[in-house]
Amino acid sequence: MKRKWQVSLSIILYILILAAALDFNLLKLFDIRLFLLFVLGTAVLTVPFCEKGIDRRELCYIFGRKAIEAGLIQTLLLMFVGLQNSASSETFWNDIAMSFRPLLYGFCMQIIFSEKHEGTAAVQDIQKNVAVREEPDSTQRFREFGLTKRELEIVGLIAEGKSNGEIAGVLFISEATVKKHISNIFEKTGASRREELVRMAFDKKEK
């Protein structure tokens, strides 16, 4: 939380520096109505990922990634409306410029909430995440240990030889969350190393 405040203050400071250097009226960047619509849109896009048991850090990470999408959608719609309603060339370019404010909000939110954890691989496209979350055949035998859906997903990715950072990127979660899940998996299965989990998965395939 402390780092998020530090990042937020850094962004504000940088924007103030740019506004002063470019002699720009900073108040034009902020519109309370647009900002509230932007936050609402980001929350709506985040809702599908609010699974049971998801931790706060993971949810914040997803919120930050969805902020860019919400900002882009709102910017495009504002530009579309501006093009339709522009009555004169004098206001045309001003309307277009102001339409980019939600996109700026989105980038700022992403920087604040989607901090890249050390060792975490680049986040994959969300459609790929949905596909990967389907339970692999190699994890079927682990059901008897009472593993959760997320733990089964991680076992399958371990069986594919992926590192903690790669798993974090594929599943759209933090590396700390991956380590916590793996610790729970070891406790439930009695395994002490990743190699044992891999061996168990491939033993199932050979039967």
For the stretch 88-100, pLDDT in tens is 666 677 777 778 8
CATH for 126-206, options being 3.40.50.970, 3.40.50.2300, 1.10.10.10, 1.10.1500.10: 1.10.10.10
**CA-to-CA dists, residue 54 to 47, 59, 112, 125, 148, angstroms:** 12, 7, 19, 19, 12
Burial of 73 (0-12, 13-18, 19+ CB in 10 A): middle
Q: What are the start and end residues of each CATH 1.10.10.10 domain in the chain?
A: 126-206
- Predicted confidence (pLDDT) at residue 81 exceeds the cutoff of 60: yes
Rounded Cα–Cα distance for residues 42 and 13 (Å): 24
Rounded Cα–Cα distance for residues 156 and 167 (Å): 10
pLDDT at 201: 74
3-state secondary structure 96-149: HHHCCHHHHHHHHHHHHHCCCCCCCCCCCCHHHHHHHCCCCHHHHHHHHHCCCH
Burial of 5 (0-12, 13-18, 19+ CB in 10 A): exposed
- Predicted confidence (pLDDT) at residue 134 exceeds the cutoff of 50: no
E strand intervals along the chain: none
- Predicted confidence (pLDDT) at residue 137 exceeds the cutoff of 70: no
pTM over 0.75: no
- Predicted confidence (pLDDT) at residue 185 exceeds the cutoff of 70: yes
How far from chain centre, in Å, is Cα 66? 6
